Structure 1
Amino acid sequence: MAAAVKAAAAKAAADGGTEGRLLAGRYRLGAVLGKGGMGTVWRAQDETLGRTVAVKELRFSTGVDEDEKRRLITRTLREAKAIARIRSGGAVTVYDVVDEDERPWIVMELIEGPSLAEFVRENGTLTPRRAAEVGLAVLDVLRAAHGQGILHRDVKPSNVLIAANGRVVLTDFGIAQVEGDPSVTSTGMLVGAPSYISPERARGQKPGPPADMWSLGGLLYASVEGVPPYDKGSALATLTAVMTEPVEPPKNAGPLADVIYGLLVKDPARRLDDDGARAMLTAVVNAPEPVAPPVVAPNAEETRQISLADAKEAADKAAAEKAEKAAEKAAKKERDRREREQRERARAALKSARKEAAAAAAAAAAAAAVPTASAAEAPASGKPSPVAAPLTDVMPRRTIAMAVAAVLVVLAAVGSLIAYVVGGDDEDGKKEQGKNGGKPTPVASGNVTPGGQGGTTQNTPPAASPNTPQNSPSSSANTGAGDPGTTSTSQGQGAAPGGAGGGLPSGFATVTDPGFHFSMAMPQGFHQTGIAGKNSGAIYSRDGGFPRIQVDYNDSPGSDARKAWMELERAVAGSSSGYRLIGINPVNYRNYPTVADWEFERVQDGIKVRVLNRGFKMDATHGYAIMISCPADQWDGAECTQMRNVAFETFQPLG
């Protein structure tokens, strides 16, 4: 009997704690709260102080050798030390560490509530505002930890607890890395959840605080989407995607999207830091949430009134609105048909007029050649050659005058038809540009490519969200103008801000491009040397190099220039050599409704170039981007500084 009791006790010690066991003479183990690969968390009662606590037990799996046991014990003690050093309301408080069965047991504050992963699984995703609140709480813990030289390295939804009172707590510093701790050794293993491991850790590089910021971005993504940003089914495939693939755009993030994108930047040097993330999360929390109108349940009498009177009125109104929209649609369709027919007739008339002009010119030339032909025939008759008579001696002056007048009339008709096809007014008084009139194809958002000779930028002015960029060569990188006759240059006079004409600085000339709806003063010698992207704008320079100015036009701009640049910035950064962001900031420019400057550097054509890209919306149909590029070492020089100032001061929209 004694042997059996002893054997049972030995088995209990080997298996670890059991319910009802008393640790260190004061902590009575209760129910199991959770189990992991290396340990079990128990609810326990501190019988000395009379409070409920959580006790984390370190468990050894079968077959673990002594070296591995020592390593696990060291990790557990390091976790307790790391938590004890953090001063934050979002971190669990460590009360005690006891040594039993030759291993440490951590006695901690008990947090009653589910993990964030459990909460989302059971209750659905968080709103962007609540997710931002959770993010700020986790950020507080990370700031305190990083201030102590501690990296968490395993920030994920299952390690965040949501207490019943709403408190958010970051737990499990079991794989934390503590700066200067001699007990930290590398085993060559990558620890942590693959979906939340940063790209630099996945590549085996030494991580810093930005690695925890990446994991926070993944946590926010999962909070509003219900799934991690990267999950390919296996650890290797997931880590490969983390390192190489763009994140799937979140669908439910709303105002939180910019924070998520900023935290999930693959380059840790450009990743959103603590201050930036804190400011953006705070803005999301403080933004007013849309309030749904109150729903008032009508009483029986009101229900009858709505059913009989109001419902009929609403139905009649809806029918009238539908009929009105149908009539407007039909009228627009008919108007478009008439305009199309008018343009076709005009083009046919233009073609006919050109033929008539050519015929009249040929007739005049033939008539002018008559005296010469007569004189040439004289030698054949054996008579002396007469002196060639002037045209007026062969053809009456009135006939010549009529021929010349006919040619001028035809040419005038050609000019009128060209004016109609290229820039004439339609029935509604709106300008209609023809196919050969130099107007670019209207720009839809998307396909943005880094600018440069042989690699231009479809520099979509702040409009609907751009798509993922692709590197593509310039559609027209020759040294001449894009469409002959669409760009004109005038010397000495320019448009001052606001539209009034004014003197230009010496060495500048006004460039007018009706095809892209603008005029602007540029350095003399600048001419169109390329077309941007898919005909969204034009590039101007002296020889196709730098400095250069690119102007893009969009006939359906969006309402947030800064947001458009931020969405585009990630794509340009990923496809540019030597890219360095200087800033994306809203600015005031002529009181336009939304304006933002995007400044960056990159290596282009073997030259380090600095770029200022100003995007702005004038109104519902006019959006522009003015991109000034200069060699970085000349950016603050007189030429580049004056070129920027004059460009922004003299820019004028057309049409």
Structure 2
Amino acid sequence: MAMVKAHVSTSELVAGRYRLVDVVHRETNRVGYYGEDLETERACLLTQIGLPDDQGPDDARRATSRILRTSERIGLLRPGRVATVLDAVEEAGSLWIVTEWIDGTPLGALLAQQGTFNYVRAARIGLELLDVLEAAHVAGITHGELSPGQVFVGADGSVVVTGFGLAGATLAPRVAAPSYASPEQARDERIGPASDLWALGAILYTMVEGRPPYRERDRPETTLKGVDRLPLRAPVRAGPLTQAVQGLLRKDSRERLSRPVVREALDRVINDAPETAAQAMHRPRLRGRYAVGPTWGRRAMVIGTALAVVTVAAAVLVVTNGSQDDSDSAATGAAPTPSASAGAPTGQSPTAAPSTSPTQEETGTESGAGSKSPSTSPSGTALPDGFSTYTSPDGFSIALPEGWEPVATSRASDVAYRVFFGAEGDDRRLAITYSEALGPDPVAVWRDDVQPDLEERSGFQRIGDIEATTYQGYRAADMEWVSDKDGTRSRTFGRGFLIDDHRGYSLRWTTPEEDWDDAANRKALDTFLRTFRVPGD
């Protein structure tokens, strides 16, 4: 595949009439220039796209014809909101799209200058983009190339979109902006409106987080592989936009949010948070290093203890890591956070909670200096033989088998932690996680954030459906799965539950699969669920 030249001399003319003056923005295989039309003496925007090496003259003519035709159709539907294409020509292995000059700045350039936007500003831009996409989709047109380089923002906040008609005209849909391509585009499959909604979600994510959901790698193919296969790193600065962003970035196109749902979510952010806009403008930007670890959705960004709120959100993410590697999380210092999912009644399998990703300095391993009382559970009921109540320094309590104690604890500041319990010579494990940055839908957290991360593990297979339930009066969800570790097939039951709008716990119980139904293991799980108490209960 041919790539565009690293630069084009501004003394060159395109098609003998368009003078290139300055570069406006760059993306993979695409460069935008401020230019002059020598015939009309007007400013224009020229976009250069590299064409495949084997593209013939007929292919180039079809591409230019398609771009002109599509641009004219969408321009009639949303005049002033879509760039008017004046010309499209093939020259020296490149496709050149000439549009009227746009009185605005590419969104990508704005983000490069400003770092991040507050979520109200992001929602306003997102709503304008949604208006344009809705008009196109109703007319049967998919953009297929949407990225920050194709969105121009005026001084008044108005938005103009370029790039309609490129999808399918060249190979560009897979390489022009790989970190904004949908998973189906990454697999080179047929695309439709759902791909544009993914791109909208990716743009919203970038505006609030300061980086795309999937980072640009050294080769477009590597970036696309990451989009297709890697779990999403859950946003930590999106505030009330979080659910909309995660709903748009679901890997399965059939599960992405619909346009009406997205519109309602964006409207709500704009209308319900007028005061937050000013406050958000003064929030510290995410700077410094990124701490990577297991997360609810994938990996959490933790910038330091000073940014406690950011750390909390990061913590939520860690819990996505799979059950079989709870011990690995401890070893690597990845702090867990409770899952938004919550528990099922006794007798159902419990589900794991989210975990947190702390910086290395914030993560510590300790032997657990809690206390034990031997005879009764926190509720005052008698315990099974061989169990005694453990009270954590963090305030929760639970009945544990004799000889069991905390073997490791991982933390992210004071807002998320995971404690691992076990005994020497016992290959079973219990993990308890707490987090202060959980989403409101436990099932969605397991499905969209936890499971994609678990799927990267050897032999992962979910057992049954994710079950919405209640646990001790709290909203909860359960997920059960099997996986391989060090030659052993393990089975895990996780239960996560919310104790208020954003805080919660999870319990995760793992045994060798072949021992799962042993009476002693069933008794242990039942006892854990029956005796666990949050602080204050």
TM-score normalized with structure 2 length: 0.53
Query: 1:248–1:235: structure 2 CA closer, same or farther, 3 Å change rule?
Result: same
- Match among 37, 41, 45 for residue 34 of structure 1: 45
Contact preservation (8 Å) 1:82, 1:176: no
Equivalent residue number for residue 323 of structure 1: none
Following the alignment from structure 1 to structure 2, what is the Cα–Cα distance between the partners of residues 175 and 487?
A: 67
Residues 284-337 of structure 1 show CA distances to partners (whole Å, capped at 9, x for unaligned) of 3332434879xxxxxxxxxxxxxxxxxxxxxxxxxxxxxxxxxxxxxxxxxxxx
The CA distance in 2 between the partners of 1:147 and 1:609, in whole Å, is 45
**CA distance, structure 1, for counterparts of residue 469 and residue 127 of structure 2:** 25
Output the CA distance in 1 between the equivalents of 2:80 and 2:480. Answer: 39
Matches within 5 A, 1:213-362: 213-224=197-208, 228=212, 230-232=215-217, 235-236=220-221, 238-239=223-224, 242=227, 256=241, 259-260=244-245, 263-264=248-249, 274=259, 277-278=262-263, 280-285=265-270, 286-290=272-276
Local SS of the residue matching 2:432: strand
Quote the residue 2:149 is aligned against: 158
Q: Match of 1:597, as an amino acid?
A: A
Q: How far did residue 653 of structure 1 move?
A: 5.0
2:442 is aligned with 1:552: no
Separation (CA, whole Å) in 2 of partners of 1:147 and 1:509: 65
8 A contact 2:455–2:461 mirrored in 1: no
SS in 2 for 1:36: strand
- Conservation of the 8 A alpha-carbon contact between 1:519 and 1:652: yes
Change (3 A) 1:489 1:218: same
1:564 deviation in Å?
12
Contact 1:92/1:108, CA 8 A, preserved across alignment: no
User: Unpaired segments of 5 or more residues in structure 2?
Assistant: 1-12, 20-38, 89-96, 280-313, 331-335, 340-352, 360-364, 411-417, 512-520
Counterpart for residue 613 of structure 1: 496
Higher relative contact order (CA 8 A, sep 6+): 2
| C-alpha contact (below 8 Å) 2:44/2:100 kept by paired residues | no
**Corresponding letter in the other structure for 1:612:** R
| Equivalent-residue separation in structure 1 for 2:464 and 2:200 (angstroms) | 22
CA distance in 2: counterparts of 1:615 and 1:202, whole angstroms: 36
The match for 2:62 is 71
Q: Which residue is 1:339 aligned to?
A: none
C-alpha spacing 1:533/1:503, structure 2 compared with 1 (3 Å)? closer
Greater percentage in helix: 1
SS for the counterpart of 1:569 is: helix
Which residue identity lines up with residue 82 of structure 2 in the other structure?
V
Question: Which of 204, 217, 234 is 2:188 aligned to?
Answer: 204
> One-letter code of the match for 1:569?
V
- Residue 512 of structure 1 aligns with an amino acid whose one-letter code is T
What's 1:130 paired with? Answer: 121
Structure 1 distance, partners of 2:148, 2:454, is 29
Quote the offset at 1:130 in angstroms.
Answer: 0.7
State the partner residue of 1:562: 439
For residues 216 and 618 of structure 1, the distance between their equivalents in structure 2, rounded to whole angstroms, comes to: 27
Letter matched to residue 323 of structure 2 = G
Contact 1:494 1:510 in 2 (8 A): no
For 1:467, the equivalent position in structure 2 comes to 357
Do the aligned residues in 2 keep the contact of 1:614 with 1:627 (CA within 8 Å)? no
Q: Are the counterparts in 2 of residues 83 and 93 from structure 1 also a CA contact under 8 Å?
A: no
SS at structure 2 position matched to 1:34? strand
Query: Are 1:82 and 1:150, in contact at CA under 8 Å, matched by a contact in 2?
Result: no
Aligned positions of 1:67-146 closer than 5 A: 67-80=58-71, 83=74, 92=82, 112-120=103-111, 125-146=116-137
* Separation in structure 1 between the aligned mates of residue 211 and residue 128 of structure 2, nearest angstrom: 21
* Greater C-alpha radius of gyration: 1
Change over 3 Å in CA distance of 1:247–1:562 after alignment to 2: closer
> What is the alpha-carbon distance in structure 1 between the residues aligned to residue 326 and residue 191 of structure 2?
37
Greater CA drift, 244-253 or 151-160: 244-253
CA distance in 2: counterparts of 1:243 and 1:161, whole angstroms: 27
Structure 1 residue 644: deviation in Å?
9.8
Q: Which of residues 383, 389, 407 in structure 2 aligns to 1:512?
A: 389
Counterparts of 1:616 and 1:453, CA distance in 2: 26
Rounded Cα–Cα distance in structure 2 between residues aligned with 1:135 and 1:205: 26
Aligned to 2:506: 625
> For residues 527 and 214 of structure 1, what CA distance do their matches in structure 2 show?
50
Alignment deviations for residues 161-201 of structure 1 (CA, whole Å, 9 cap, x no partner): 33565432433212235xxxxxx8x8698353233223442
Number of residue pairs matched by the alignment = 412
TM-score by length of 1: 0.45
Q: CA deviation at 1:534?
A: 4.2
Instruction: Give the CA deviation at 1:257.
Output: 5.6
- Report deviation, 1:129: 1.2
Task: Report the Cα distance in structure 2 between the residues aligned to 1:210 and 1:534, rounded to whole angstroms.
Answer: 41
SS in 1 for 2:323: coil
Change (3 A) 1:29 1:259: same
Match of 2:322 among 450, 456, 473: 450
Percent identity over the alignment is 28
